[in-house]
Amino acid sequence: HYQDTRKPLHEASTLPGWCYVDNEWYEREVEMLFKKNWICVGRVEQVPKAGDYYSIEIVGQPLIVIRDENQQVKVHSALCRHRGAIITEGAGHCRALVCPYHSWTYSPSGKLLNTPGNPPPMAGVAGFNMADHNLISFRTELWGGFIFVNFDENAEPLLSWLGDLPEFLSSYQLENMQWTNRDMYEVDCNWKIWLENAFENYHVPSIHRDHYDPANPSNWIFEETKGPWEAMFSKRSIVAYSGLPDVPGIDEKKAQGLFHIWIEPSLQIILTANYMKFRQYLPEGPEKLRLYENWTFPRSTVEMPNFNDIVGADYYEKYSQIIREDLGINPNVQKSMRSGSYRPGRYSLEEFIVHRIANRVLDKVVGPQ
């Protein structure tokens, strides 16, 4: 069982294997974590102009993220209000959203504009009112340029939910970052396996040995936090990048290293003196994960004439090697969880946040007691 996971770190054991494969457990995670918390769906720079949109799926919910005719960023259900066809699964620019099935047409704000046909197919349908059939829209709020959605109408506002995180990261001026690149990976593992791997340095000498310097290890400091987030700090990245200008106005202490931050349940932010990466964990079942790796840089950096030449080979490619190495080990661990033979192991003291992740999941799925 998982009672040993509840113990203090120096006495605790990992979650049992079935917590990574069991359908009923996964559905509880979906209901209690992914449908009640604020979930990051991207950045405002991905929809810079009215009518710009992209699609994303969150735990089985097809969504459209769009900037509407009033310059407001909205997140709509992608399901047509007629017979449920998915309106779009791509990205682009539109004056209106048109369902591919029967051409019901919606404004970017989600208003039903037209139900075309000759003769008019909805004429004479008893009680049919266009205003009752707008797209379903979900609560959408912004912070630091990030777009968050919440499926729970009763959830507390995003900024209060985030606790002391906005203040902690204020000197990075996240709203002035520019989204530049995204890679997508489909991985055969539970979302927690990749997340746990991302928040411990214990595996680096083994899995990322080409990037490991035993004479200069990354010693992580774990932050005290108030809110649904965890953070760890190191003065050294395992990847050495070419120098780019620092974030304008960055706090002197924060400029000395990098932070790995987890915002429960599905957003990881990696912050250095000169860039921000963020990772979206989008589970597609207990043993499937869609992973989005996103890069952002200060706008002034992106405007440098040689920016693309520098980041293509030196940032994107170097970090993709790290991802490829993790792609080798995380599905390996998933097979162990599925085997039925795995017995919970003991946490090392380097796995502080891995232990915190497991206990935050338990708090939501089974309750804090």
Distances (CA, A) of 270 to 34, 107, 236, 273, 356: 21, 36, 13, 10, 18
pLDDT at position 220, please? 84
User: Any residues with CB less than 8 A from the CB of 49 and at least 6 apart, and which?
Assistant: 67, 93
Q: How far apart are CA 105 and CA 102, in angstroms?
A: 9
User: Token pair of 150, please?
Assistant: 């919440």
CA atoms within 13 A on the CB side of 286: 16
Element (H, E) at 302: helix 299-302
Q: What domains appear along the chain, each with residue ranges and CATH number?
A: 3-36+164-365 (3.90.380.10), 39-159 (2.102.10.10)
pLDDT at 356 (0 to 100)? 97
CB 95 within 8 A of CB 51: yes
Token couple for 282:
């989008």
Give the closest residue to 237 by CA, choosing from 291, 274, 193. 274
Compute the distance between CA of residue 361 and CA of residue 223 in angstroms, rounded to an integer: 19
Residue 32's pLDDT is what? 97
pLDDT (tens digit, 9 = 90+) per residue, 86-113?
999 999 999 999 999 999 999 999 999 9
- How many CB atoms within 10 Å of residue 60? 10
Take residue 346 and report the two structure tokens written for it: 């003991």
H/E stretch holding 222 reads strand 221-222
Check residue 204 and give its pLDDT.
82
Beta bridge partner(s), residue 146: 43, 143
Sign of CA dihedral 186, 191, 195, 198: negative
Q: How far is CA 151 from CA 18, 136, 138, 141, 221, in A?
A: 27, 11, 6, 12, 34
Handedness of CA 39, 336, 238, 11 (dihedral sign): positive
Residues 106-154 pLDDT 10s: 999 999 999 999 899 999 899 999 999 999 999 999 999 999 999 999 9
CA 170 to CA 165: how far, in whole Å?
8
Q: Using CA atoms, how far apart are residues 3 and 13, in angstroms rounded to an integer?
A: 9
pTM: predicted TM-score of the whole model, two decimal places: 0.95
Q: What is the DSSP letter of 230?
A: E
> Packing angle between helix 191-198 and helix 317-339, nearest 10 degrees?
130
- H or E stretch including 277? strand 276-283
Beta bridge partner(s), residue 150: 139
Q: What is the DSSP letter of 136?
A: P
And the tokens for 271? 């912050």
pLDDT value, residue 246? 92
DSSP secondary structure of 116-133 = --SS-TTTT-TT--GGGG
Residues of the chain with pLDDT under 70: 211-218, 236-241, 369
